[in-house]
Amino acid sequence: MRDFLARLPKVELHLHIEGSLEPELMLALAERNGVTLPYASVEEVHGAYDFSDLQSFLDLYYQGMSVLQTARDFHDLAMAYFRRAHAEGVVHVEMHFDPQAHLVRGIDLAVVMEGLSLARREADRELGLSTALIMAFLRDRDAEEAMWVLEQAAPYWEMLDAVGLDSAEQGNPPEKFVEVFERARRLGIPRVAHAGEEGPAAYILGALDRLDVCRIDHGVRCLEDPSLVARLRDEQTVLTVCPLSNVRLRMVERLEDHPLPRLLDEGLNVTLNSDDPAYFGGGMVDNFLACHRAFGWDEAVFRRLAGNAIEAAFVDESRRDEWRRRLAEA
């Protein structure tokens, strides 16, 4: 099964590039940039990966990204993940990035964009790996700041495949960002949003109705509302589910307890993704293989899931057709 899953052409729709920062690179960048971390070894970094909830993860996540200082750092971060993803059969990565988390550290948006843009071109040229870029707003910060960031990104609007909404969900409903997402809609930028991870099913409804998103990141708590489930099924709204993330952040105690099988039984448009692979136990093959072990899924199920992601990707039809062909041959 591992060999099959590695061959399967996989499209990753839910990846936070800052969350791909492996301990080895974190320590190397800290040394390069003179950043002091409370860890002396890779083992000590791994030892900190015991999260009780989303917030405990975010505290470490923001601490780790403090080593990202220059365009070279963002390039090295992205290329390190692109190479790992390519090696396990990923053909396309849609990466969220968090400009506010860097701006508050004094890192200009131009620095982030220069490094990520260089890595995207290099990945396409050297690996044949295509990418999309999703600029995410931190929902636990002010909507006014998010609007300011969107306007500051004007030189890069053409480079954005979507805007998104992430970070601490509890107490930060989608409705808080209606004006920001309406501005993005008027600019012609697609919208996605995290919803129904820690937050209730009502947050999924809010993201759909008030933010006009084209897909829901996570969305696993939709099952709390049967009418919402029926709507998601009827509209075939894409859910970018992240199995190992949900376990590591204690959404479920064990993967065997995850609602993924029920989501499929309900006929929902589910995709599998890694979220923050450096922190949550692995990349795409690891997430797929964990589901095989937990649920006994066969090759047909994984072809279906991979196909769902191919159809949902922000990509031109020529690439999509190529992936469809490769999927049929896998």
Classify burial at 41, counting beta carbons within 10 Å of its beta carbon; exposed 0-12, middle 13-18, buried 19 or more. exposed
The candidate with the shortest Cα–Cα distance to 175, out of 209, 141, 142, 210, is 210
Which of 45, 42, 120 is closest to 77 using CA atoms?
120
Residue 132, exposed/middle/buried by CB under 10 A (0-12, 13-18, 19+)? buried
Q: What is the DSSP string of 249-272?
A: TTSSSSGGG-SHHHHHHTT-EEEE
Letter for the amino acid at 327? L
Q: Which uninterrupted H or E stretch holds 123?
A: helix 109-127
Torsion of CA 60, 254, 244, 297, to 10 degrees: 180
Selection from 82, 76, 70 nearest residue 107 by Cα: 70
Catalytic residue annotation: 197
Residue found by looking up tokens 């220059």 in the block: 70
